[in-house]
Amino acid sequence: MDKTSFYQEMLRYELGRIVGADRIVTDEAEIEAQSLDVWWVTRFWKFTDFDFPKPWAIVFPENTGEVSEIVKFCNEHRVPVIPRGGGAGDSGGTSPVTGGIVVDLKRMDRIVQINERSLTARVQAGIIQKHLEEQLNRRGYTMNHFPASFTTSTLGGFISTNGTGVLSSKYGKMIDMVHQLEVVLPDGAVFKSLPVRLHSTGPDYSRLFFGAEGTLGIVTEALCKIYPLPEKRIFWGFLLPNLACGIEAGRRIMVSGLCPCLMRLYDEKDTRHIMKQQFGIEDEGCVMLIGFDGVTGIVDAQKAAADLILRDAGARDLGEGPGRNWWEGRYKSYYPPNDYIAYPWMTAVTDTVAPYENIERIYREMKRAVEEGFKQWDAEFHAHFSHWYDWGTCFYPTFLLKRFPDDERQALALYNEILDAAVTASLENGGVVNEHHGIGLKCSRMMRRIYGERYDLALSIKRALDKNNIMNPGKLGLGD
């Protein structure tokens, strides 16, 4: 028999009265299996001798009413609540650092309603995005949200990190993809934002919960935008002479009113290491993959207009192959043995978004801070620019150390030093970290540095909504 505590048994009894005993899990198997996300530090924690945080219980509600009752109970008894969707984040956002209960939303996976006139889908927050997309596709629709964790993460998780998919240059971030949110607040009350977000009936309060990572409540349902499956979707590859030319070409495409669904510009290092392997491209430069979708005539016209801009920038047309191959195999690099996380390497992403006037400088300074600042560890830095707007863009850098100190404390300290150096380089040059991976524990300690005194506003909102600080403590720099 598994060991259990008096406290766990009390939670099982009390929460069992709300959801039924079979949906309260306190056993070792599930607690261990849920313990890791994909952040390097949690993986490092788990497989070294550091104490690893564990919840007291995991509860699986099936509807908003149950979530509300669970949160009321926890608020009354000051039990920390950690909302969890896929648990596949990159920053320790679902790690129960102060214990408490995990509210696992994956049983809340129903598509409540599809409105084919207004093109909306009302969906429970625990649905895995792939399942939602499959059901939409069967009816001829799509949500056009294709992040790396498409097969495993949930709608609520994407909303709570304000995530971004690979087609975001046209379809936006999660905040652009949702009309209405339903949220269980920290006192158990259910808040539903207005049916549309484009109003002037006071502020759009739903914005509070995009990217709040469960610190202000639990997202339980969303009214999402959907689109008809595109008549045509094309992808193309180009090789640009260097990064500066690539960024400028991308900027010109975006400010000219073109609307690529995909635009990915790989830096020289990424181009050399990844594109050669995947596409057999030997030349120096920076590869750009670009895609358009929608009505055939518009797709063809946009492609022709983009071709002119890219040709003017000195781009070489690589044809359809690289873009098509990338799209069809876009998840392949996340499987072992290709995924970085399959190796005992130290890695982190510090995705940064900034206006065009700063973006290249931020990239160069961040790269210098990592590669030169940590030369003794052969630190590597590479990036791609993958989410483009008409005012700026986001680059997705990865730092990588294939060797680091054997001593666990020294290794963790080194990780934090590199992260600090990278984030500082971004902040000092006008960048914002992170663009779409969320803050979690990874950058929680940096929030006041990122926001300055202005962060008092966030703390005031947190105290007003969550008086007992039960919601996902330790995250977003909002206190333990």
Partner 1 sequence: MGIADIRQTIASCKHCFMCRHACPTFLATKLDSHTPRGYALLLAEIDAGKADWSDSIVDRFYQCSQCGLCREDCAYHWPEDELVRNAREEIVAAGRAPGRVREIARAFIERGHPENGGPSLPETGAAGKPNAGVLYYAGWSTRAYQPTVMAAVGAIMTKLGADWTTMQDETDTGLSLFELGFTKEAAKQAEALRDTIASMNPRRIVTGCPHSLWAFRELYGRLGVTMPAGVEVLHIAEFLAEKIEEGALKPSGRPDLGRVAYHDPCRLGRSLGVFDAPRALIGAIGGARPIELFHSGAAAECCGAGSVMFLSDPEVSLKVARRRLAGAVEEGVDTLVTACPNCKEMLGRAAAGTDAKIAVIDVAEMTARCL
Among 202, 203, 280, 336, indicate the residue that binds partner 1 (CB under 8 A).
336
Could you tell me which residues come within 8 angstroms of residue 401 by beta carbon, excluding any fewer than 6 positions away?
345, 346, 347, 374, 377, 378, 379, 380, 414, 418
Among 194, 341, 447, 461, indicate the residue that binds partner 1 (CB under 8 A).
341
Name which of 331 and 455 has its Cβ closer to partner 1: 331
CB of 1 to partner 1, least distance (A): 5
Burial class for 33, CB neighbours closer than 10 Å (0-12, 13-18, 19+)? exposed
Among 59, 73, 96, 104, indicate the residue that binds partner 1 (CB under 8 A).
104
CB of 4 to partner 1, least distance (A): 10
Site map 127..166 versus partner 1, x via CB under 8 A: -x-xx--x---x----------x-xx--------------
- Structure tokens belonging to residue 220: 């339980």
CB of 19 to partner 1, least distance (A): 13
Name which of 204 and 339 has its Cβ closer to partner 1: 339
Site map 287..326 versus partner 1, x via CB under 8 A: ----------------------------------------
Whole-angstrom Cα distance, residue 67 to residue 77?
15
Binders of partner 1 among residues 13 to 42 (CB under 8 A) are 25, 27-30, 32-36, 38
Binders of partner 1 among residues 188 to 207 (CB under 8 A) are none
Name which of 149 and 193 has its Cβ closer to partner 1: 149
Name which of 63 and 424 has its Cβ closer to partner 1: 63
Work out whether strand 81-84 and strand 101-104 pair parallel, antiparallel, or are unpaired.
parallel
Whole-angstrom Cα distance, residue 310 to residue 306?
6
CB of 9 to partner 1, least distance (A): 15
CB of 61 to partner 1, least distance (A): 11
Binders of partner 1 among residues 59 to 88 (CB under 8 A) are 60, 86-88
Best CA proximity match to 57, nearest among 34, 85, 39: 34
- Structure tokens belonging to residue 65: 């009413």
- Structure tokens belonging to residue 120: 């909306």
Whole-angstrom Cα distance, residue 382 to residue 350?
11
CA 423, 92, 64, 467 dihedral sign is: negative
User: Contact region for partner 1 (CB under 8 A) — 170-178, 193-201, 339-347, 428-436?
Assistant: 339-347
Name which of 134 and 372 has its Cβ closer to partner 1: 134
> Could you say whether residue 1 binds partner 1 (CB under 8 A)?
yes
Among 199, 311, 332, 467, indicate the residue that binds partner 1 (CB under 8 A).
332
Among 14, 307, 339, 371, indicate the residue that binds partner 1 (CB under 8 A).
339
- Structure tokens belonging to residue 68: 């509300």
Name which of 194 and 400 has its Cβ closer to partner 1: 400
Among 335, 375, 376, 453, indicate the residue that binds partner 1 (CB under 8 A).
335
Interface with partner 1 (CB under 8 A), residue total 41
Name which of 292 and 415 has its Cβ closer to partner 1: 415
CB of 31 to partner 1, least distance (A): 9
CB of 303 to partner 1, least distance (A): 29
CB of 186 to partner 1, least distance (A): 24
Name which of 310 and 349 has its Cβ closer to partner 1: 349
First-residue to last-residue Cα distance in the chain: 33
Binders of partner 1 among residues 429 to 458 (CB under 8 A) are none
Among 16, 43, 268, 427, indicate the residue that binds partner 1 (CB under 8 A).
43
Phi and psi at residue 390, to the nearest 5°: -85, 5
Whole-angstrom Cα distance, residue 277 to residue 479?
45
Name which of 13 and 47 has its Cβ closer to partner 1: 47
Whole-angstrom Cα distance, residue 194 to residue 206?
8
Name which of 65 and 344 has its Cβ closer to partner 1: 344
User: Contact region for partner 1 (CB under 8 A) — 102-110, 224-232, 354-362, 466-474?
Assistant: 102-110
**Prior bond of 434 cis (ω within 30°):** yes
Q: Kindly list the residues in this chain that would bind partner 1 in the complex (CB under 8 A).
A: 1-2, 25, 27-30, 32-36, 38, 43, 47, 60, 86-88, 104, 106-107, 128, 130-131, 134, 138, 149, 151-152, 329, 331-332, 334-339, 341-342
